[in-house]
Amino acid sequence: MVIRPRWGLRVATALSMLVLGAGAIGHAALTSLDTGISRVDPFRDMKNRPEAGHGMNLLIVGTDGRDRIGREEKEKYRLGGAPCHCTDTIMLVHLSADHRRASVVSLPRDSYAEVPGHTDQNTGRHHKAHPVKLNAAYAEGGPALTVRTVEHMTKVKIDHYLEVDFTSFMRTVDAAGGVEICTARPMKDRYTGLDLPAGTHRLSGGEALQYVRSRHVDGAADLGRMRRQQQFVAALIEQATSSGVLLNPVRFGDVAGAVLGSVRADKGFGSDEMLALGRAMRGFSAASSEFTSVPIGALETVPGIGATVKWDTAKAERLFRTIREDKPLAPLGKGKKRARLVEVSPQRIRVQVYNGTGRAGLGRTADAALRATGFATTRSPLNAAGTGVEETHVTYDPRWDRSARALSTALHGCPVRAVPGQGPMLRVIAGADWPGVVPVRARDAYQGEFGAVTGDEVICPR
């Protein structure tokens, strides 16, 4: 069985790093990198296109390129099978007009689509408009037919086209210094070779490849894999924008070279555009990105095509209208902070707070902060046996480990200590380093009309 990965989302991140880093290096350096990009013309002779909206829209296509990976790496990271030379992922990335937000929308490759009339690039035969799976648009008509089909389905005008071979993914992660990922539970997938214990991990390029490919670690299949991809994208953006990669011309050059070695782009996306956009987007961070996928209506088998994914027409139309109008997909209410995603809703977690210091009122402060975030506190904080606790921590019965991880996340990732027999009530011992509380919410909680999450919700707690 060959498990083919979804590459576009990961590649989008690497390209975002180039865009963000463009403002940190000179025009001459960017021009030299520009010469390494292969060019395509996906907009040639296109007519009846949608009206331009606000901001910039990029169509990012990920293609299979495992034939460029060495035998040793293929075996180590379970990359067997022949390359399909196809599009495995298609994504629409919208950069807002104020350069403060990037909205990433995944378009399932098996989406039911109708391609316009075209000449088949393989046979030279002309075809009338007909139904296909979305990824077949590339196979039949390359970048141009892919752009035409996506514009027809979304009514969003595509400004730039980027096509990436996934073989650059591992080199990009390594050039960035690895990426930090947090796993709430052990993750093991015999198909990809992924084997991670619960906790925080810095993944190398090959390990990251296993992480983003895996879909057999839980019962969520592709939905679970999409969530992990979102987490990885956000973490890589966080790494790029906080570690100095983008401010160091040498390191940025390494990252850029790793990505651009297998990129094809439209002729209009060159060094001048990258430089201007990069300068405008200074200050961009994981919190500036948001992720979702097209709302799905039903799975349907279509004669001559096979199993397809049909979009929820009404919801999809509203989603793409929001993109055209340059509005956020994950609205932030006035005065509201983003909430980190956890496995268990805080409302289901009972907490007893202890003051582990001699500081008056710390117990009440901690209890009130946790209760305001949704935790079911006792409202009656107690004093710990001693008053010299330096490090805030959580104690828990191992049977409630998921609740303990959720509570720890709310406390900026403070340590957790298993105490067999403690029972369902979790304990927070507030120490001299009391970190305060960050909002959390369950992954299955309502996330707005489009189910979008922001990057700062899914990266490791700080």
- φ, ψ (nearest 5 deg) of residue 107: -110, 105
DSSP state of 357: B
Give the closest residue to 323 by CA, choosing from 115, 138, 105, 84: 105
Give the closest residue to 373 by CA, choosing from 363, 362, 365: 365
- φ, ψ (nearest 5 deg) of residue 251: -65, -40
Give the whole-angstrom CA distance, residue 461 versus residue 412: 5
- Name the CATH superfamily housing domain 8-324: LCP protein (3.40.630.190)
Predicted confidence pLDDT, tens digits, the chain (462 residues): 333 334 444 444 455 555 545 555 555 555 666 666 778 899 988 888 999 989 999 998 877 655 666 677 666 666 665 555 567 678 898 989 988 888 989 888 889 999 988 877 777 788 888 999 998 898 888 899 999 999 999 999 999 998 876 666 777 788 778 888 888 778 888 888 888 887 889 998 888 878 877 777 776 656 666 677 777 877 877 777 666 665 566 666 666 666 666 678 888 877 666 656 655 556 667 778 888 889 988 888 999 889 898 999 999 999 999 999 999 998 664 444 677 888 899 999 999 999 999 899 999 999 999 999 999 999 999 999 888 999 999 999 999 998 999 999 999 989 999 999 999 999 999 999 999 999 988 866 556 788 887 777 777 766
CA angle (36 as vertex; 35, 40 as ends), nearest 5: 85
CA of 142: how far to CAs of 40, 147, 223, in Å?
Answer: 10, 9, 28
Helix (H) or strand (E) holding 259: helix 249-260
pLDDT of residue 357: 95
pLDDT of residue 454: 79
- Say if residues 351 and 407 touch (Cβ distance below 8 Å): yes
Strand intervals (E) in 193-277:
194-196, 199-203, 263-266
Q: The tokens 């004093």 sit on which residue?
A: 383
Token reading at 318: 């509203």
DSSP state of 320: H
Would you tell me how many other CB atoms lie within 10 Å of the CB of residue 268? Answer: 13
Give the whole-angstrom CA distance, residue 7 versus residue 4: 9
CATH number for the region 340-442 comes to: 3.30.70
pLDDT of residue 372: 92
What residues does each domain of the chain span? 8-324, 340-442
Question: Residue 158: what residue type?
Answer: I
Give the whole-angstrom CA distance, residue 164 versus residue 21: 18
- Say if residues 141 and 115 touch (Cβ distance below 8 Å): yes
- φ, ψ (nearest 5 deg) of residue 83: -65, 145
* b/e sequence 274-294, b meaning 16+ C-beta within 10 Å: bbebbebbeebbbbbbbbbbb
- Say if residues 235 and 459 touch (Cβ distance below 8 Å): yes
* b/e sequence 188-219, b meaning 16+ C-beta within 10 Å: ebeebbbebeeeebebebbbbbbbbbbbbbee
Give the whole-angstrom CA distance, residue 362 versus residue 92: 48
Give the whole-angstrom CA distance, residue 93 versus residue 368: 40
Give the whole-angstrom CA distance, residue 95 versus residue 380: 48
Instruction: Give the length of the chain.
Output: 462
SS3 440: strand
Tell me the Cα Rg of the chain. Answer: 24
Tell how strand 393-396 and strand 426-430 pair up.
antiparallel
Residues 6+ apart with CB under 8 A from 240: 16, 17, 20, 21, 176, 246, 255
End-to-end CA distance of the chain: 39
* Inter-helix orientation angle 8-21/205-213, to 10°: 130
